[in-house]
Amino acid sequence: NAGVTQTPKFRILKIGQSMTLQCTQDMNHNYMYWYRQDPGMGLKLIYYSVGAGITDKGEVPNGYNVSRSTTEDFPLRLELAAPSQTSVYFCASSFPPGRSYEQYFGPGTRLTVT
Amino acid sequence: ELKVEQNPLFLSMQEGKNYTIYCNYSTTSDRLYWYRQDPGKSLESLFVLLSNGAVKQEGRLMASLDTKARLSTLHITAAVHDLSATYFCAVDRQGAQKLVFGQGTRLTINP
């Protein structure tokens, strides 16, 4: 199993550009998450999904959109990139609570907006 | 609003010493997570504590949970250089595994 994979690893965007961060998991997990980590800080939840077709906002959803058309994929869309979105983005996945409580993280995407 | 606070935020210690990292959280939660992060890397799961009084140990690390005090501790015994990393605690918000993270404790262990 590859686990949780993310692409790209690094990206530099200009202000106002858009991009999609890709996340794929091969563990058949129902739940998927997007977090951001600012320098020297803990992670903050952007969006999450409990299954295909179901998404909901986390703590810091503004400026982002998500979709979940398959169990495996959970892309994160940035529209009109701003310097405040410079961060490291982590995707994670898990089984529903009760079956397991482990959350598995991808390697991250380092995004700079200038 | 659920808040998670760790202390200390920075810790420099010598090999062979013992120390404890504290994690306080503001509202009721039954699950607490500890992660390790090396510079430029992703998060590595250390422990998941599921109930009051839970204690888990792995090597030189031991974690405990007191849900009544809303406090978890990560105890390091006889520290070695390889344990240098940033340690995060996280609390499960509303039972949906939507984790709220502390700021992290940057641990440096000197020979």
pLDDT means per 10 residues, chain A with 114 residues, are: 93 97 96 95 95 95 97 96 97 88 94 97
State residue B52's pLDDT score: 83
Instruction: Output the six-digit token pair for A38.
Output: 């600012």
Residues of A (7-66) whose Cβ lies below 8 Å from B: 31, 33, 35, 40-45, 48, 50, 58-59
CB B109 within 8 Å of CB B16: no
Q: How far apart are CA B3 and CA B102, in angstroms?
A: 8
Number of other residues whose CB lies within 10 A of the CB of residue B81:
10
Residue B32's pLDDT is: 94
Average pLDDT value for residue range B60-84: 95
Contact A106 B42 (CB under 8 A): yes
Asked if pLDDT for residue B111 goes beyond 90, the answer is no
**Better-scored residue on pLDDT, B30 or A92:** A92
pLDDT at B93: 73
Residue B33 amino acid letter: Y
Which element (helix H / strand E) includes A49? strand A43-51
Burial class (CB in 10 A: 0-12, 13-18, 19+), A31: buried
Report the distance separating Cα B60 and Cα B77, nearest Å. 5
A102: which chain B residues are within 8 Å (Cβ-Cβ)? Answer: 45, 48
